[in-house]
Amino acid sequence: MAEPVYKEAEARDLDARYAATRALSLSLAANLSDGDATAQSMPDASPAKWHLAHVSWFFETFVLRDSVPGYRPFDERFAFLFNSYYEAEGPRHARPKRGLLTRPSLDDVIAYRAHVDAAMLAALPSLPASARDLVTLGLHHEEQHQELLLTDILHLFAQNPLQLGLWPRGPRTPSPPPEPLRWISGPAGLVEIGHDGTGFAFDCEGPRHVVHLTPYALADRAVTNGEWTGFIESGGYQDPAHWLSDGWAWVKAEGIEAPHYWERDRNGGWTRFTLSGREPVDPAEPVTHISLYEADAFASWAGARLPTEAEWEAVAASLDSTDGHFLDRAGPCHPSPARPGSGCRQMFGDVWEWTGSAYRPYPGFRPASGAVGEYNGKFMSGQFVLRGGSCATPRGHARASYRNFFYPHQRWQFTGLRLARDMPA
C-alpha cells in the first residue's frame, strides 16, 4: 500500500520553509571569503563551507538518494567529505582535518547546494510522508548548523590579531542598569516534562514523563556581565572553594581568568570579541561564552545553584518560546539586556542556559531505526543539558522541551546561566 502524500497546503508550507531555511544559511555566509569559509580554528569547530555542504549532504543522502528514483548525486566523493558522524553511512573525512579541505571551493559548495535545492524543490510535492518527515528533520538540523556556523566563525575570527568582525554594528549607547534580580517560585510536586507530541521535536525530547520537584525558585533573568565582573574581582577564579574538582583542574591547566573572548583593556576594564569585532563589555547584557564549570562556580559563589532541566522546563512551559532575542536574519548577533517586566524573562533567546542535569535518556527513550537514529542518542554520555536558545538560534527553533547539550568545559557557544535555589517546603 502506497504511503499518503501530504495535503496541498502542508506541501506549500514545507516548500516555503525549505526555501527560507536554505536561503538564510547562504545569507549568513555572504560576507565570507573562500579563506574565511575554509579555515578551522579548533577540532570542535568546523569550516563554514563544511557546514553549508554537510546540511546539503543530509538532504541528498536521506531524502533524494533514498526516495527519488533516478536521482544522481552532484559528486559521489562528497559523501566521504561531508558525512559528520553517521557510522551507518560508511567512512568519512576526519573531523579535526576538515580545515584542510581547500577544495572543493566555497563556490563549488554553493553550486552543490543549488543542485540539491533544485532536486529537492522538484521532488517535494510528490514525496511520501516518511520522506517529508525527514525533510522537516533536515530543516531543523540545518537550523542547528546555522548557529554552529556563526559560533565557529566567531571562534575563528577571534584568532586573528586584526580582531575584525563578520558584521559591523552601529554606534551604541550604554544600556541602563538591569533591574535587581528577583526570585520566582516554580511549579512543584508532580509535573510532566518532555515533548507532548504536538509538532516537531528531536527524539531526545521525549517520551513525556512525570517528575517530582521539591519547592524551588528561579532567578527572573540571566546573570549579567556586571554580576560576573563582581565574581572576577572578588577572586572567584582563584578560590577553589567554589569549584568542582574537574572544574578547578581545568581552570589551573588552561589558565582561565574570565569568560571566553574577554580581555582587559589598557585602563583595566573588560572587552570581549563579538561577531562585530572587539567591544567593551556591557554590564547589563547577559554573560556568555562560559563553561558548565564556570556557571556552577558562579552559582556556588552567589549562594545559589544551577536549575535542573526539569525545573527550567516546568517554568518555561507556560511561556512563548518565540518571544525572545533570536536570529532572524543575517546581521549583528549579540545577547541583549533583559527587558523590564515581571515573571521569568529571557527564558528563550539571548544565551543558552546551563542546567545541572546530565544529558541522559528519558525513561522509555528509544532511538529511531537506521542512520538517523544516530542523531542524538549516542551522545548521551558525559555532557550537560542547556535550555532556551540564544541570539544565534533561528527564531522558532527552540521550545520548552528542547535539550541542547555540550561537554562541561566547552564555551565557544553562546552559553550563559540562570540561578536557582531551594525553597522551604
pLDDT-based confidence at 371, cuts 50/70/90?
low
- Predicted confidence (pLDDT) per residue in 278-307, tens digit: 999 999 999 999 999 999 999 999 999 999
pLDDT at 44 over 70: yes
Angle at 374 (CA atoms; ends 371, 379), nearest 5 degrees: 170
DSSP letters spanning 341-376? -SS---SSBSSEEEEEEE--PPTT--PPSSGGGGSS
Q: What is the pLDDT of residue 392?
A: 98
* pLDDT single digits (tens) 227-270: 999 999 999 999 999 999 999 999 999 999 999 999 999 989 99
Confidence (pLDDT) at 3: 43
Other CB atoms within 10 A of residue 366 CB: 11
Q: 134 is written with which cell numbers?
A: 525527514
Numbers of helices and strands, H then E, in the chain: 11, 12
Domain ranges of the chain: 8-158, 183-422
Q: What is the mean pLDDT of residues 125-145?
A: 96
Residue 174 has a pLDDT of 80
Decide if pLDDT at 69 tops 60.
Answer: yes
The pLDDT of residue 142 is 98
- Give the C-alpha separation, 132 to 63, whole Å: 8
> Quick one: pLDDT band at residue 170, thresholds 50, 70, 90?
confident
State residue 172's pLDDT score: 79
Q: Is the pLDDT of residue 416 over 70?
A: yes
Q: pLDDT category, 2, cuts 50, 70, 90?
A: very low
Residue 66 has pLDDT above 70, yes or no: yes
Is the pLDDT reported for residue 1 higher than 70? no
The average pLDDT across 354-364 equals: 97
Q: What pTM, to 2 d.p., does this model score?
A: 0.94
Q: What is the mean pLDDT of residues 97-122?
A: 98
Distance CA 408, CA 425 (A): 31
Give the per-residue pLDDT at 117.
98
User: Would you say domain 183-422 falls under CATH 3.90.1580.10?
Assistant: yes
The answer to whether residue 348 scores a pLDDT higher than 70 is: yes
Give the pLDDT confidence of 212-222 residue by residue, as tens digits.
Answer: 999 999 999 99
As a whole number, the mean pLDDT across the chain is 94
Signed CA dihedral, 135, 139, 144, 150: sign only: positive
Residue range 7-38, pLDDT digits in tens = 555 667 999 999 999 999 999 999 999 999 99
- Ramachandran assignment for 319, one of left (phi > 0), alpha (psi -120 to 50 degrees), beta (any other): beta
pLDDT at res. 6:
44
pLDDT value, residue 219: 98
Q: Look at residue 11 in the predicted model and tell me its pLDDT.
A: 66
